[in-house]
Structure 1
């Protein structure tokens, strides 16, 4: 069995840990993600009927899984994909309902190096500070890896790549199949993606490589090394393996398709209300929104996340938010509600469960929810470590009726489906 077989079954799309402690002010870099999907995938053979990045694994195209990981991550500001000119229809089919982060597809070149340069040239118009370049055929990268790459760049690295320490013993073999030497592995790492760089520098070195006719590079770190840029390594994951062969695709599909076989759906609902008070913003579904008033509560009074937390706890039959985080406890005064939702998600995982989908309806006259809907979905997906496509956020007014209609406060109701073992 492949080394990644046991790991990928446990990696949810869009996984992210640590967002709850990150304030809006801490987000200092404009971060772009560039997914490279212009290859033909010849080593996957002709059995899948399309380029491997569009093959289904667990019912979802490989490319879509790669896109969703970056789309759901709150540190990624914009996202673009480089595709083969013949794949326009396949791409459109794989990317329906993505968020507004995703830009129009970019046509790539004959080599990966040319495709990356085409993508960088297009993104230059949006002036990102850093860019994370990722191979579409690595659909099991997770948000922790993205965090580590971005953190290295924030700390001053000019380049940072995900990688894993080599575990196998290496042998040098001659043309007759005889072992000639054992190669020390202590300083050897297997390069992965995403690979992150300061945007202006990686664009400049790609341009220089193209102008000089250098076209031998198999990843972006090697181009950076050629240009004399220091590149650091951050911890990747054994699951973050590139799907190269037809066997890889088949194995990944089997693992993902079978993981829910012995799980039963449990549904829970939640409801929450908070009144308005003095202030200049509200927190709704994990997103800070400027407003003429704030919501009053012991924590940040995020009605959307409170209702959703109760929905998850209801599906688990595990009390309610007040039982686990009593308002009388001073440690929760002013706390971000992400903490409560993360705890409910942890309880589901500890039961061997998986959150299938969640849905929140906000009852509000103001502020307007529509402009923030995608950010809310992304925030919830990141907290719960689920695919953003399985997160619904809606809003309705009360037509001037009741306390919501009079502008005295906000309410939210939510539902959640959790798949739990028999």
Structure 2
């Protein structure tokens, strides 16, 4: 029977936040940002293992207490220069240690999406467990899209029909994901794109606006509000 394994690539520096501290360790609701995704994934019963892929020279992780996740979390210091490299290195390390099989499901989640909820994870598992390809959380685009020219002026308005904004987790079988990432071009930004390049069509599973990616400093205030509200209702 296939296992469900979550993998969080967390080797990035978070340079767009404009600070030296890696983004995943910025405090939100009194905890490092990555804690909130870990809490959701580790407390999801169907997920057997949650792997965190850190940079080889990461010095921040050991500053915090992760004891509540003992028995479910696995830390791998084999992160690469890109997200794709970190995911690939993590999967290869798990495979070499016989901790993952080709048919197991891998849920790759961004450390900078602290708003992930149990409901979204369960929806993803329910809709993809029997899928032939796999898929990802995503939300239909709501805003009007403008195509700009090099001078920063509107060139035309783009139709948003059938356009979705990708989120994570993105869920694929180990063998397919490794093959896709191994053949992916250097500029790839998510796992689904790599799978698409092999000719497959991943399934879109409805996400929600709370599962946004913290990218810029102004995103922190919104994430803080969402997490404080969620913690208060636990």
TM-score normalized by the length of structure 1: 0.51
Query: Aligned with 2:87: secondary structure?
Result: helix
| Equivalent of residue 149 in structure 2, options 163, 174, 178 | 174
Separation of aligned partners in 2, 1:91 and 1:236 = 32
Change (3 A) 1:67 1:91: farther
Number of the residue aligned with 2:181: 206
Contact kept? 1:41, 1:51, Cα under 8 Å:
yes
Q: 1:189 to 1:83 in 2, by over 3 A?
A: same
Superposed CA RMSD:
2.1
Q: Which residue number corresponds to residue 248 of structure 1?
A: 219
Question: C-alpha offsets along residues 278-329 of structure 1, whole Å, 9 cap, x if unaligned?
Answer: xxxxxxxxxxxxxxxxxxxxxxxxxxxxxxxxxxxxxxxxxxxxxxxxxxxx
Aligned partners of 2:170, 2:227: CA distance in 1, in Å? Answer: 26
Task: Tell me how far apart the structure 2 counterparts of residues 235 and 108 of structure 1 sit (CA, whole Å).
Answer: 29
The answer to whether 1:160 aligns with 2:160 is no
Equivalent in 5, 19, 22 of residue 51 of structure 1: 22
Larger relative contact order (Cα-Cα within 8 Å, sequence gap ≥ 6) = 2
User: What is the 5 A alignment of 1:272-291?
Assistant: none
The Cα offsets for residues 125-168 of structure 1, whole Å up to 9 and x where unpaired, read as: 21241110001000111122212222232222312100000000
Whether 2:4 is the aligned partner of 1:31: answer yes
Task: Give the Cα–Cα distance (whole angstroms) in 1 for the partners of residues 216 and 67 of structure 2.
Answer: 26
Aligned to 2:64: 93
- Correspondence for 2:83: 112
Q: Which has the higher Rg, Structure 1 or Structure 2?
A: 1
Residues 88 and 178 in structure 2, CA contact (< 8 A), matched pair in contact too: yes
Q: Is the alpha carbon distance of 1:127 and 1:41 closer, same or farther for their aligned partners in structure 2, counting shifts above 3 Å?
A: same
Per-residue CA shift, 1:193-213, capped at 9, x if unaligned? 00000111111222333xxxx
Structure 2: gaps spanning 5 or more residues: none
Equivalent pairs, count: 230
- 1:79 has 2:54 as partner: no
Partner of 1:141: 116
More displaced stretch, 104-113 vs 195-204: 104-113
* Misfit runs of 4+, over 4 Å: 254-257
In structure 2, relative to structure 1, the CA distance for the partners of 1:100 and 1:136 (3 Å cut) is same
Q: TM-score, normalised by structure 2?
A: 0.90
